[in-house]
Protein backbone atom coordinates (compact mmCIF):
# COMPACT_ATOMS: atom_id res chain seq x y z
CA UNK A 1 0.00 0.00 0.00
CA UNK A 2 1.19 3.51 -0.86
CA UNK A 3 0.36 6.16 1.71
CA UNK A 4 0.84 9.92 1.53
CA UNK A 5 0.11 12.01 4.61
CA UNK A 6 0.23 15.72 5.45
CA UNK A 7 1.90 16.66 2.20
CA UNK A 8 2.40 20.33 1.38
CA UNK A 9 4.32 21.52 -1.67
CA UNK A 10 5.43 25.16 -1.83
CA UNK A 11 6.92 26.88 -4.83
CA UNK A 12 9.60 29.48 -4.31
CA UNK A 13 8.79 32.81 -5.88
CA UNK A 14 11.38 35.29 -7.15
CA UNK A 15 11.34 37.15 -3.84
CA UNK A 16 12.15 33.74 -2.27
CA UNK A 17 8.79 33.66 -0.54
CA UNK A 18 7.19 30.22 -0.32
CA UNK A 19 3.76 30.01 -1.93
CA UNK A 20 1.54 27.00 -1.33
CA UNK A 21 1.13 24.98 -4.53
CA UNK A 22 -0.66 21.89 -3.30
CA UNK A 23 -1.80 20.16 -0.14
CA UNK A 24 -2.82 16.56 0.46
CA UNK A 25 -3.95 15.40 3.90
CA UNK A 26 -4.23 11.68 3.46
CA UNK A 27 -4.18 9.30 0.52
CA UNK A 28 -3.90 5.53 0.69
CA UNK A 29 -3.66 3.45 -2.48
CA UNK A 30 -4.26 -0.27 -2.08
CA UNK A 31 -2.23 -2.94 -3.89
CA UNK A 32 -3.57 -3.21 -7.45
CA UNK A 33 -5.64 -0.04 -7.13
CA UNK A 34 -5.29 2.83 -9.62
CA UNK A 35 -6.16 6.27 -8.21
CA UNK A 36 -6.63 9.03 -10.77
CA UNK A 37 -5.56 12.59 -9.99
CA UNK A 38 -7.25 15.32 -12.04
CA UNK A 39 -7.22 19.10 -11.96
CA UNK A 40 -6.46 22.20 -13.98
CA UNK A 41 -3.13 22.79 -15.67
CA UNK A 42 -0.30 24.09 -13.50
CA UNK A 43 -1.72 23.14 -10.09
CA UNK A 44 1.18 20.81 -9.32
CA UNK A 45 0.00 17.33 -10.32
CA UNK A 46 3.25 16.38 -12.06
CA UNK A 47 5.27 17.93 -9.24
CA UNK A 48 3.43 15.67 -6.79
CA UNK A 49 4.39 12.60 -8.85
CA UNK A 50 8.02 13.74 -8.99
CA UNK A 51 8.00 14.15 -5.19
CA UNK A 52 6.68 10.58 -4.75
CA UNK A 53 9.30 9.30 -7.18
CA UNK A 54 12.01 10.97 -5.12
CA UNK A 55 13.31 13.50 -7.63
CA UNK A 56 15.27 16.49 -6.43
CA UNK A 57 12.95 19.51 -6.74
CA UNK A 58 15.18 22.60 -6.48
CA UNK A 59 12.37 25.08 -7.11
CA UNK A 60 10.01 23.67 -4.49
CA UNK A 61 9.93 23.11 -0.75
CA UNK A 62 8.06 20.04 0.41
CA UNK A 63 6.95 18.46 3.64
CA UNK A 64 5.01 15.26 4.16
CA UNK A 65 5.12 11.56 4.94
CA UNK A 66 5.44 8.87 2.30
CA UNK A 67 5.12 5.18 3.13
CA UNK A 68 5.20 2.16 0.83
CA UNK A 69 4.31 -1.26 2.25
CA UNK A 70 5.18 0.05 5.71
CA UNK A 71 8.54 1.46 4.55
CA UNK A 72 9.24 5.13 5.16
CA UNK A 73 10.44 6.48 1.80
CA UNK A 74 11.20 10.04 2.82
CA UNK A 75 14.95 9.55 3.22
CA UNK A 76 15.32 7.01 0.39
CA UNK A 77 16.88 7.62 -3.02
CA UNK A 78 15.00 7.09 -6.30
CA UNK A 79 16.62 3.65 -6.71
CA UNK A 80 15.80 2.54 -3.16
CA UNK A 81 12.16 3.54 -3.51
CA UNK A 82 11.57 1.08 -6.37
CA UNK A 83 8.80 3.15 -7.90
CA UNK A 84 8.08 2.94 -11.62
CA UNK A 85 7.20 5.99 -13.68
CA UNK A 86 5.48 6.26 -17.03
CA UNK A 87 5.42 9.66 -18.70
CA UNK A 88 3.59 10.77 -21.81
CA UNK A 89 6.86 10.51 -23.72
CA UNK A 90 10.13 8.72 -23.25
CA UNK A 91 11.03 5.76 -21.12
CA UNK A 92 13.06 3.66 -23.56
CA UNK A 93 16.82 3.82 -24.07
CA UNK A 94 17.30 4.99 -27.68
CA UNK A 95 20.56 3.08 -28.24
CA UNK A 96 19.03 -0.26 -27.19
CA UNK A 97 16.66 -2.50 -29.15
CA UNK A 98 13.25 -3.42 -27.75
CA UNK A 99 14.72 -6.74 -26.59
CA UNK A 100 17.63 -5.01 -24.86
CA UNK A 101 15.30 -2.49 -23.23
CA UNK A 102 13.07 -5.32 -21.96
CA UNK A 103 16.00 -7.25 -20.49
CA UNK A 104 17.67 -4.17 -19.04
CA UNK A 105 14.42 -3.26 -17.26
CA UNK A 106 14.33 -6.67 -15.56
CA UNK A 107 17.99 -6.74 -14.61
CA UNK A 108 18.00 -5.05 -11.18
CA UNK A 109 15.15 -6.97 -9.55
CA UNK A 110 13.99 -10.03 -11.44
CA UNK A 111 14.82 -13.41 -9.93
CA UNK A 112 14.17 -15.13 -13.27
CA UNK A 113 16.93 -16.69 -15.35
CA UNK A 114 17.82 -14.88 -18.54
CA UNK A 115 15.87 -17.23 -20.83
CA UNK A 116 12.83 -16.87 -18.54
CA UNK A 117 13.17 -13.08 -18.69
CA UNK A 118 13.18 -13.30 -22.48
CA UNK A 119 10.09 -15.52 -22.38
CA UNK A 120 8.25 -13.19 -20.03
CA UNK A 121 9.03 -10.12 -22.13
CA UNK A 122 8.05 -11.91 -25.35
CA UNK A 123 4.76 -13.11 -23.85
CA UNK A 124 3.88 -9.56 -22.81
CA UNK A 125 4.87 -8.18 -26.20
CA UNK A 126 2.74 -10.87 -27.79
CA UNK A 127 -0.26 -9.73 -25.69
CA UNK A 128 0.17 -6.35 -27.31
CA UNK A 129 0.68 -7.85 -30.79
CA UNK A 130 4.16 -6.30 -30.90
CA UNK A 131 6.30 -9.41 -31.00
CA UNK A 132 7.78 -8.54 -34.38
CA UNK A 133 9.32 -5.38 -32.86
CA UNK A 134 11.73 -7.40 -30.71
CA UNK A 135 14.86 -6.39 -32.63
CA UNK A 136 13.77 -2.86 -33.54
CA UNK A 137 15.22 0.33 -32.11
CA UNK A 138 12.84 2.83 -30.43
CA UNK A 139 13.19 5.37 -33.27
CA UNK A 140 11.65 2.79 -35.62
CA UNK A 141 8.49 2.47 -33.54
CA UNK A 142 5.30 4.45 -34.12
CA UNK A 143 4.12 6.69 -31.25
CA UNK A 144 1.58 4.10 -30.11
CA UNK A 145 4.04 1.21 -30.30
CA UNK A 146 6.59 3.24 -28.36
CA UNK A 147 4.09 4.07 -25.55
CA UNK A 148 3.04 0.47 -25.18
CA UNK A 149 6.58 -0.87 -25.06
CA UNK A 150 7.63 1.83 -22.59
CA UNK A 151 4.73 0.81 -20.35
CA UNK A 152 5.71 -2.81 -20.74
CA UNK A 153 9.30 -2.08 -19.69
CA UNK A 154 8.09 -0.07 -16.69
CA UNK A 155 6.06 -3.12 -15.63
CA UNK A 156 8.90 -5.56 -16.32
CA UNK A 157 11.01 -3.67 -13.79
CA UNK A 158 8.64 -5.04 -11.11
CA UNK A 159 8.07 -1.72 -9.35
CA UNK A 160 6.52 -1.65 -5.89
CA UNK A 161 4.32 1.26 -6.97
CA UNK A 162 3.68 2.97 -10.29
CA UNK A 163 3.24 6.61 -11.25
CA UNK A 164 1.59 7.42 -14.57
CA UNK A 165 1.62 10.94 -16.01
CA UNK A 166 -0.75 11.22 -18.99
CA UNK A 167 0.41 7.77 -20.10
CA UNK A 168 -2.12 7.28 -22.89
CA UNK A 169 -2.31 10.75 -24.40
CA UNK A 170 -0.10 9.90 -27.39
CA UNK A 171 -2.48 7.11 -28.46
CA UNK A 172 -5.47 7.38 -30.77
CA UNK A 173 -8.92 6.57 -29.39
CA UNK A 174 -9.18 2.88 -30.35
CA UNK A 175 -5.70 1.93 -29.23
CA UNK A 176 -6.01 4.10 -26.16
CA UNK A 177 -8.86 2.06 -24.66
CA UNK A 178 -7.05 -1.18 -25.42
CA UNK A 179 -3.72 -0.09 -23.89
CA UNK A 180 -5.48 1.45 -20.90
CA UNK A 181 -7.36 -1.77 -20.13
CA UNK A 182 -4.18 -3.81 -20.61
CA UNK A 183 -2.23 -1.52 -18.26
CA UNK A 184 -4.83 -1.62 -15.50
CA UNK A 185 -5.10 -5.39 -15.82
CA UNK A 186 -1.32 -5.74 -15.46
CA UNK A 187 -1.18 -3.43 -12.44
CA UNK A 188 -4.03 -5.31 -10.77
CA UNK A 189 -2.48 -8.72 -11.51
CA UNK A 190 0.87 -7.62 -10.09
CA UNK A 191 -0.92 -5.93 -7.11
CA UNK A 192 0.93 -2.67 -7.75
CA UNK A 193 -0.63 0.50 -6.29
CA UNK A 194 -0.70 3.24 -8.92
CA UNK A 195 -1.27 6.98 -9.04
CA UNK A 196 -2.19 8.37 -12.45
CA UNK A 197 -2.50 11.96 -13.64
CA UNK A 198 -4.77 12.58 -16.59
CA UNK A 199 -6.85 15.36 -18.14
CA UNK A 200 -9.27 12.88 -19.66
CA UNK A 201 -11.99 11.45 -17.42
CA UNK A 202 -12.38 8.55 -19.87
CA UNK A 203 -8.89 7.38 -18.85
CA UNK A 204 -9.78 7.33 -15.17
CA UNK A 205 -10.11 4.04 -13.42
CA UNK A 206 -11.65 3.59 -10.00
CA UNK A 207 -11.22 6.41 -7.52
CA UNK A 208 -10.79 9.96 -8.79
CA UNK A 209 -9.21 12.69 -6.69
CA UNK A 210 -9.17 16.36 -7.67
CA UNK A 211 -7.31 19.53 -6.82
CA UNK A 212 -9.93 22.02 -5.54
CA UNK A 213 -9.89 25.83 -5.44
CA UNK A 214 -8.13 25.77 -2.05
CA UNK A 215 -5.20 23.90 -3.66
CA UNK A 216 -6.19 20.83 -1.72
CA UNK A 217 -6.54 17.34 -3.12
CA UNK A 218 -9.90 15.81 -2.22
CA UNK A 219 -12.03 12.85 -3.32
CA UNK A 220 -14.00 13.80 -6.42
N1 LIG B 1 11.22 23.03 -12.61
C2 LIG B 1 10.35 23.98 -12.25
N3 LIG B 1 10.79 25.14 -11.70
C4 LIG B 1 9.93 26.08 -11.33
N5 LIG B 1 8.61 25.98 -11.47
C6 LIG B 1 8.13 24.87 -12.02
C7 LIG B 1 8.96 23.81 -12.43
N8 LIG B 1 8.18 22.84 -12.95
C9 LIG B 1 6.92 23.27 -12.86
N10 LIG B 1 6.88 24.50 -12.31
C11 LIG B 1 5.69 25.30 -12.00
O12 LIG B 1 5.04 24.65 -10.93
C13 LIG B 1 3.64 24.62 -11.12
C14 LIG B 1 3.14 23.19 -11.13
O15 LIG B 1 3.58 22.53 -12.31
P16 LIG B 1 3.13 21.05 -12.65
O17 LIG B 1 3.77 20.67 -13.93
O18 LIG B 1 3.36 20.17 -11.48
O19 LIG B 1 1.56 21.23 -12.84
P20 LIG B 1 0.50 20.22 -13.48
O21 LIG B 1 -0.72 20.32 -12.60
O22 LIG B 1 1.10 18.88 -13.63
O23 LIG B 1 0.23 20.88 -14.88
P24 LIG B 1 -0.18 20.19 -16.27
O25 LIG B 1 -1.53 19.60 -16.04
O26 LIG B 1 -0.21 21.34 -17.23
O27 LIG B 1 0.87 19.19 -16.59
C28 LIG B 1 3.39 25.36 -12.40
O29 LIG B 1 3.03 26.68 -12.08
C30 LIG B 1 4.70 25.33 -13.13
O31 LIG B 1 4.87 26.46 -13.92
DSSP for 57-123, written as a single string: -TTEEEEEEEEETTEE-TT--HHHHTEEEE-SS--S-TTS-HHHHHHHHHTTT--S-HHHHHHHHHH
Mutate to test the pocket of ligand 1, among 14, 24, 39, 45 (most ligand atoms within 8 A of CB): 45
**How far does Cα 170 stand from its chain's mean position?**
15
Q: Does position 13 have pLDDT exceeding 90, yes or no?
A: no
Please list the residues that pair with 217 across neighbouring strands.
Answer: 211
**In whole angstroms, how far apart are CA 128 and each of 133, 164, 179?**
11, 19, 8
ipTM: 0.92
Closest protein CA for atom 30 of ligand 1:
42
Q: Does position 5 have pLDDT exceeding 70, yes or no?
A: yes
Determine whether 16 is exposed, middle or buried from the number of CB atoms within 10 Å of its CB (0-12, 13-18, 19+). exposed
Mutate to test the pocket of ligand 1, among 43, 85, 163 (most ligand atoms within 8 A of CB): 43
pLDDT computed for residue 27 by the predictor: 96
Query: What is the spatial distance between Cα 192 and Cα 1, in angstroms, rounded to a whole number?
Result: 8
Atom of ligand 1 at shortest distance to CA of 39?
Answer: 21
pLDDT, tens only, 154-212: 999 999 999 999 988 878 888 888 888 888 998 999 999 999 999 988 888 889 999 99
Confidence band of 59 (pLDDT split at 50, 70, 90) = confident
Which residue, among 51, 86, 56, 21, has the nearest Cα to 217 in the 3D structure? 21
Atom of ligand 1 at shortest distance to CA of 50?
Answer: 18
pLDDT computed for residue 116 by the predictor: 92
pLDDT computed for residue 43 by the predictor: 93
Q: What is the pTM of this model?
A: 0.90
pLDDT computed for residue 16 by the predictor: 66
Using an 8 Å Cβ cutoff, are 112 and 120 in contact? yes
pLDDT, tens only, 94-148: 999 999 999 999 987 778 888 999 999 999 999 889 999 999 999 999 888 888 8
Mean pLDDT of the 85-91 span: 81
pLDDT computed for residue 138 by the predictor: 95
Amino acid sequence: MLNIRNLAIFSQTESSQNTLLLRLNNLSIQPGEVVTLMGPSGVGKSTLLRWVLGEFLPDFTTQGELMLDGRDLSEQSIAQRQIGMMFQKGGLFPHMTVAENCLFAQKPRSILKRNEQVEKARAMLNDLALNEKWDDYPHNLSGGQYSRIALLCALLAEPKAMLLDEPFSALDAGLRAEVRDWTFKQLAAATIPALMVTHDRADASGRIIMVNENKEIVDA
